[in-house]
Amino acid sequence: MNRTASAFLLVTGFTGLLAALSFALQVKGYGFGSLGIARLDEVASSATFVPLAALYALAGALIAILPLRAAGLVHANAATPVYSTTLVLLATIVGLQIARFAFGNDGALWVLLDWRFGFAGAVIAAHLFLDALRRNALLRTLAFIGFCAATLACLYWSFRL
């Protein structure tokens, strides 16, 4: 948990500093300041988290059902990288929106209320509790069913409101 929070805060801070530099260059009249903001905007959007959640849920289902050695391989080489990617993308979005708010865009923080950010929160929460899910057979079975349902929902449900 401490590693997750520190990584999130560090990436948020770095992104905020890069965005602030780009905004400052843009205010001074340099054209490449807007290019830096555009590149940070292209990194991620809230829609990116739906397929990442599907990938993580598939890895979680495999971790729940596979034997210990194979589950460790999937955890180290699939679940952890997807979790890290989700954490970094979420921190990038938060850092950029905080920098926008600091430079006078009062509506910048409303972007963070998009419901699709819940997928990022679900991936992070699932990763933090993944070890507890393997402790007994009932939790492992429920986790497998839940992860399979989440995989199918993320891939094939439209999530249109």
Domain segments of the chain as ranges: 2-156
For residue 132, what pLDDT is reported? 84
Contact 16, 94 (CB under 8 A): no
Question: What Å distances lie between residue 150 and 27, 135, 137, 146, CA to CA?
Answer: 44, 21, 20, 6
For residue 42, what pLDDT is reported? 85
pTM above 0.95, yes or no: no
For residue 76, what pLDDT is reported? 94
Is the alpha carbon torsion for 117, 120, 124, 129 positive or negative? positive
Q: What is the pLDDT of residues 101-141, one digit of tens each?
A: 999 888 889 989 999 999 999 999 999 998 888 788 899 99
Q: What is the pLDDT of residues 8-19, one digit of tens each?
A: 999 999 999 999
At residue 30, the 3 state secondary structure works out as coil
For residue 36, what pLDDT is reported? 86
